[in-house]
Structure formats: structure tokens, C-alpha cells
Amino acid sequence: MKCSPTDVPAIEEIDIPAMQAKYRVERDKRIRSEGQKQYERPVDDFADEYEGDPHMPVEPREALSEDIDVAVLGAGLSGLMAGVHLRKAGVTNFRNIDHAGDFGGVWYWNRYPGIQCDNDAYCYLPMLEEMGFMPSQKFADGPEIYAYCQSIAERFELYEKALFHTLIKTLRWDASIRRWRITTDRGDDIRARFVVMANGLLNIPKLPGIPGIHEFKGKMFHTARWEYDYTGGSCENPVLDKLADKNVAIVGTGATAIQAIPHLGRHCKHLYVLQRTPSCVDIRRNPPTDPQWQASLKPGWQEERIENFHHAAMEAWLAPGEPDLICDFWTEISRNMQAELEAEGWPELSTEEFIRRREEMDYRVMERLRRRVESLVDDPATAESLKPYYRFLCKRPLSNETYLETFNLPNVTLIDVADTQGVEAMTETGFVHKGEEYDLDCMIFASGFEVTSDLERRWGFEAIEGRDGRSLYEDWAHGYKTLHGMMAHGFPNQFFVGYYQGGLNSTTTEQYGRQGHHIAWIIKHALDSELAVVEPSAEAQAAWIEHMRETAVDISAFQMECTPSYFNNEGEKDVDENGNERIRWYLGESYGPGWHAFEKLLADWREDGALEGMLTEQA
Ligand code: NDP
């Protein structure tokens, strides 16, 4: 079925200069001078929050002392994909090592009520055709994704050697044995020829540094460590019946919170939603997978779908006649643009004109979403607080069938903490807002993860030392320094999966898979060629960084206009070499010429077979 454009207000209905001014006021209200430092890691008296595992008991085991070929640090989707590609390349002597009790990463830890993937599951779940699996609905439930991760691990025999409930402490390159020495909280001494850093992006929960947070005597937990013992119910059956006599507050209204809030609203005696910035929340439309559609799919359909999503969402462009296979809120702007340009007979537009038209569509879509709030929320003041005033993609766009309606329940109160730049204070018994104290039994933090904070803080390893004790944390203190975003000079035989300096795909798992493939290729090549060491030369790395910078698409102006979040490093700024202010961008540098150009560059590099730009040492 053809995907239709959405019904958005006409541009004449929006006063763009006034709206721009409003967006800036809303942004400035929320920018905090401490930037990332406004958050704290859940350590010390919150240690159980992070170190503990509410899902599975940690079993005692003997410490290991061993030599292996590859240690894959992480068993989330990036570690899983690295493991799959190592297996596919014929490398077997490796282990995934993870703090969690199983494969799954975020899908292992996050079991809060209502957890679902916000991305089209037919793209997000990797290798569907190869695995012979089809998600049961467009936006899959968390438990289904977790189970799928387990089935991939089983299929590729990753369980055999996986080491769980093991937290990496230090990583040091030992030149005398030309291996990485890895120490863990379980007393292990693992000597690996290669290490793959698959340690994730959303793995370390963060807490807001609210004055008095440590004083609170009631129950507190982070959504990534949901405590069903306390709330009642389970992830599969989120009937939170133990909250029936409890006053509960939840901090945050991001992707996590909006999924949990409808369940909390349904079950708490009273729920306070402490919101600093509203999310934009569209209709969900999450139909079960249509068996007829499934039967109609031709081999290669998933790759085609991922490609289509990438065009519409990241390349911001659907060509004449190109279908919108994803057909949801992620692709709306491109879909609407395509329909309008088609109606105009595809006029020739300069890049500037195209960008202007897209920006107008952005204002129109955001206005549609604000009107949606008005139409669903009864109380006008609450509705106004729930309206998002920023550009689309300043924050992660969301969809939910019941979130906004939850604010019509008599036991749910929205507390708008924008004016105080966050929750004002906590006391022994609750929280304070504009001079008033609110008593609570429980405070839940849906306050996100360490995504763009300083590397040491967000990775949590005590040390990562390459040649001659060189610290990766110090080397990367002012930005990533890599070749292809996957290896670093001074850090032999070490590989990185994630967002560093390379091609960016709108499907994270596609990106992890391609990176896993490239890394496994290099490792296999090194093992077959009896190379003890592979490492980018300083020159090759410098040339790559130069190339990345020269070809970069500058999105700093857009980011500076955005409300603060991890998307723009909480608005923290640097001054560049030309004296221009720009956002300190720590989420990763994206390859300007695009995903396909990047993939071709890597394919050519492998095809050439000479490990160009690499220093090697024979075994
Ligand atoms: P986010 O970082 O997106 O949200 C954190 C929330 O906490 C924000 O609403 C933030 O407000 C609020 N907050 C932080 N500090 C304070 C404070 N001092 N006072 C009041 N509010 C505060 O975390 P999430 O866990 O929601 O999501 C993280 C990421 O995880 C998502 O962006 C997404 O990538 C992924 N995710 C994906 C899901 C999926 O696919 N289904 C589901 C859940 C998460 P403010 O915006 O003002 O900073």
C-alpha cells in the first residue's frame, strides 16, 4: 500500500521568525552552564543501581588466566555483531565479555514497563532473512528483541565462551607478549591478541545532580534497572499493582519515560511527571506483522528496506517515485516533501532552496505535533507545557498511543521544571517545586545515559593503555583520532565498534554489522598472514582525520539552535580554529560524503589487500 503524506498546516499558518524566537527562548531557558557536569554517575551510595543486576543472580566463579585470540568487550548488539562476523570469517578463539548476565546489551538491562523499539523492527533487528525470523509487529517489544539477541548468539555459538557478569577494569597493551592484558572485577587476567571495543553507547545510567538527591529516604531506581519486586508486575506483564498505594515521581520525558509513564499512570496512587523538555510524540500505529506482506517479500528485502530508511531519514531525500517503505514519523518530512515536489512537477531546486523548503516542512510537522497535544490533553495549561518548541531531530522523535492521554487521568500531575532547569531539590521525603514540598514513596529516574560525557566517565574502565603506557583517554580528550573510525595509532590490535569517525547509517545495527565485518576481515587477515601486530600509522591516521574534516557537513549551526540534550552535548560549546563557536561534538563524526561512499572506500581497501596505512609486525 502506498504511504500517504501527512496532513500538516500550511506554511502561511506559521510565523517562522516568531517561532524561531520562541525556539530560542525555550532553548536558553534550559541550557545549563555546567553542561554534562549537571549529571552524576550512580556510584557510591547508588552503587547498587549500576553495579547490581536486578535480573539475574551473579554466580561465583574461578578467576581466569588465559591467552585468547580476540576479546570482544561487550555482548550488546555491537558485540553480538562483532562475534557473528568473527565466526563468519572463521575466527573461533574469542570471547564476548560483558557486565550483563547475557547477550542483549540495552535490551538485557532495560526491562521497564512498556519497553519497545522506536525504530522499524524490520530494519533494526539484524539478519532477519538469514535468521529466518520476522518480528511480530513494526515496533517490537523489548523482550522480543532480547530473545532475538539470544537466538543470534545461539546460532553463531557465541555462548560457549561468553563471559558474563564481568566488568572490565583495565586494558593494557603488553609489548613483551604483543597482547592486550585485560583485568576484570572477577580477578581475571586475560591476554588477548586483539580487542574489539563494543562497549556500547547507552550502557552507563546517569542521574541528575539534584540538590538533596542523597538525602531522600524513599525508594529510588533508574529505569535501566527497573525493580519489579517493588512495583509489582513484570516486563512481560506490567501490572504494577504494588504501586496502588504509592506516590511516585518520574524524572524525565524522553524515549524511555514516555513508554513507562502510561503504565505508571495506570497503577500509581499518584504519579508526578517531572518534565524539563517535552518530547515530540506522534501517533504510534504499531500493527502486527501482516502475513500477506511477509509472504510477498523477495530475497534481499531487508537490505532494501534499510537502504530506503537511510534515504528518507538520514539523506533527507526520497527520489521521484521512490516508495517510503518505512512510512512512520521518522520519514514524514521526506515523504511530505516528495509529495509536494511531485505535485509541482519536480521543479529544479538549488540546494539552498531545497534546504529552505525542508526547513519549512520541519516547522509544519512540529506545528502538527503541537496541535496533536492540544487535541488530546484536556487541561490547556498542561497541554501547553507538553508542546515541543524546537526543530525536528533536535531530540529523538517519539510515538506512543497512550502517553499524552495519560495526563488526563486524575491521579497524574505534570510538574514543569523548565524554569528551574530541572528538578529543584529533593528532601528526605520527596521533592521540592517552586517552594512546595511533594511527599513521595518512590522516585524513578528516566534520566538517560552517559552518551557524550568525557570518555573515562562514560566508558568506566580504569585504564586503557596502548604502546608505552599511552592513555586512550588522554589521546582522545579533545576528539577522536582514528583510521576509518575503527583503529587508533598507538593502540595496536585494538578495534572500535560504534560512533567515532566514519560512515553513519540510520539503522544502528546495520552500522555495527558492517563494522563487525570490516574488523573481522582485518583480524582474519592478520591471523592468516601471521601478523602479530596491525596498527594504523600516524600518517594514515592524520590523513584520515584531515579527510574527515575537509569533507564534513557542518551541522553545528543547527545543533546550536537546539534545546540541550545528548544530541548536542547539552549545548556545551568550543571555539574552532577560526574563532567560531560550535558544539563540542562527542557523539561521533560522520563521514561527509555519506554512508555509501564510506562503505565503498572500505570495500576497496579490503579488496586491495595491502592493509594500506597500517603498520604491521610479523609473528
Ligand atoms: P534521555 O537522555 O533521552 O532522556 C532523559 C530525560 O531526563 C530527559 O527528558 C531529560 O530532560 C530528563 N532530565 C535529565 N536531567 C533532568 C533534571 N535535572 N530534571 C528534570 N529532568 C531531567 O534518556 P532516555 O533513557 O529516555 O533515552 C536515551 C536513549 O535511549 C534514546 O534517545 C534512544 O536512543 C534510546 N532509547 C530507545 C528506545 C527505543 O528505541 N524504544 C527506548 C528508550 C530509549 P531534558 O530533555 O530537558 O534534558
Mean pLDDT across the stretch 408-436? 97
**Domain end residue (candidates: 405, 428, 445):** 445
Q: Which residue's CA is the nearest one to ligand 1's atom 5?
A: 447
**Residue 338 C-alpha to ligand 1 middle, in angstroms?**
31
The pLDDT of residue 569 is above 90: no
- 8 Å CB contact between 53 and 101: yes
If you average pLDDT over residues 351-363, what whole number do you get? 95
User: Do both 274 and 164 map to the same domain?
Assistant: no
Q: Out of 392, 425, 445, pick the residue that ends a domain.
A: 445
Please indicate, yes or no, whether residues 256 and 190 belong to a single structural domain of this protein. Answer: no
pLDDT in tens, 550-563: 999 888 888 889 99
pLDDT band at 510 (very low <50, low <70, confident <90, very high): very high
- Answer whether residue 231 is part of any domain: yes
Res 586 pLDDT > 80: no
Residue 159 maps to a domain: yes
Q: 217 with 428: CB under 8 angstroms?
A: yes
pLDDT at 189: 98
C-beta of 204 in contact with ligand 1 (< 6 A): no
Nearest atom within ligand 1 for CA of residue 448: 23
What is the grid cell recorded at 87?
A: 565466526
According to the model, what pLDDT value does residue 453 have? 81
Cα–Cα distance, 273 to 258 (Å, whole number): 10
Q: Please, which pLDDT band fits residue 203 given cuts at 50, 70 and 90?
A: confident
How far is the centre of ligand 1, averaged over its atoms, from the C-alpha of 508 (Å)?
Answer: 18
Of 447, 499, 568, 570, the residue with max ligand 1 atoms within 8 A of its CB, to mutate for a pocket test, comes to 447
Q: Report how far ligand 1's centroid is from the alpha carbon of 118 (Å).
A: 13
Q: What is the pLDDT of residues 434-467, one digit of tens each?
A: 999 999 999 999 999 988 888 888 888 999 999 9
Q: pLDDT-based confidence at 43, cuts 50/70/90?
A: low
Across the chain, mean pLDDT equals: 94
Q: Same structural domain for residues 130 and 242?
A: no
Nearest CA to ligand 1 atom 33: 255
Show the cell assigned to 185. Answer: 572485577
Asked, for residue 26, whether it belongs to a domain, the answer is no
CA distance 535 to 495: 10
Give yes or no: residues 99 and 143 share one domain: yes
* pLDDT tens digit sequence for 96-150: 999 999 999 999 999 999 999 999 999 999 999 999 999 999 999 999 999 999 9
Distance in Å, CA 116 to ligand 1 centroid: 15
Helix (H) or strand (E) holding 536: strand 531-536
Buried b or exposed e, range 233-245, using 16+ CB within 10 angstroms: bebeebebeebee
**Phi-psi group of 611: left, alpha or beta (phi > 0 → left; psi -120 to 50 → alpha; rest → beta):** left
**Which residue range is the domain that position 246 belongs to?**
35-42+208-282+362-445
144 and 222 part of one domain: no
Examine the domain organization and report whether 439 and 457 are in the same domain: no
Q: Are 98 and 149 in contact (CB under 8 A)?
A: no
User: Is there a domain that residue 570 lies in?
Assistant: no
Tell me what pLDDT residue 454 has.
82
pLDDT at 42: 67
CATH code, domain carrying 232? 3.50.50.60
Asked if residue 474 belongs to a domain, the reply is yes
84 found inside a domain: yes
Q: Is residue 476 located within the same domain as residue 513?
A: yes
What are the CB-based long-range contacts (under 8 Å, 24+) for 174-179? 175/467, 175/468, 178/492, 178/493, 178/532, 178/533, 178/617, 179/67, 179/493
At 363 the pLDDT is 98
Q: Are 488 and 461 part of one and the same domain? A: yes
- Which ranges of 156-290 would DSSP assign to H, the alpha helix? 228-231, 255-267
The confidence score (pLDDT) of residue 572 equals 81
One domain, residues 199 and 212: no
Please count the structural domains in the chain: 2
Amino acid 48: pLDDT = 64
Binning the chain into helix, strand and coil, the percentages to the nearest 5 are 40, 20, 45
pLDDT of res. 265: 98
User: Which residue is it, cell 518530547?
Assistant: 279
In a shared domain, residues 468 and 606: yes
394/516 same-domain check: no
Atom of ligand 1 nearest to the CA of 418: 47
Last residue of a domain, one of 417, 445, 473: 445
Q: 51 pLDDT exceeds 80?
A: no
Q: Is residue 59 part of a domain?
A: no
Which of 26-35, 91-100, 147-156, 284-293 has the least mean pLDDT? 26-35
Ligand 1 centroid – CA 70 distance (Å):
34
CA distance 36 to 488: 26
Q: What is the pLDDT of residue 273?
A: 98
Distance 215 CA to ligand 1 centre (A): 24
Residue 202 CA: which ligand 1 atom is closest? Answer: 30
Q: Tell me, using a 6 A CB cutoff, whether residue 566 lines ligand 1.
A: yes
The span from the CA of 122 to the CA of 146, in Å, is 15
Compute and round to an integer the Cα radius of gyration of the chain: 24
CB 147 within 8 A of CB 271: no
Cβ neighbors of 44 (< 8 A, separation 6 or more) are none
Rounded distance between C-alpha atoms, residue 315 and residue 322, angstroms = 13
User: How many angstroms separate the alpha carbon of residue 107 from the centre of ligand 1?
Assistant: 16
pLDDT value at residue 479: 87
Confidence of residue 564 (pLDDT cuts 50, 70, 90): confident
Does residue 507 surpass a pLDDT of 70? yes
Same domain flag for 190 and 219: no
Q: 35-44, 49-58, 156-165, 318-327 — which is least confidently predicted?
A: 35-44
Residue 56 lies in a domain: no
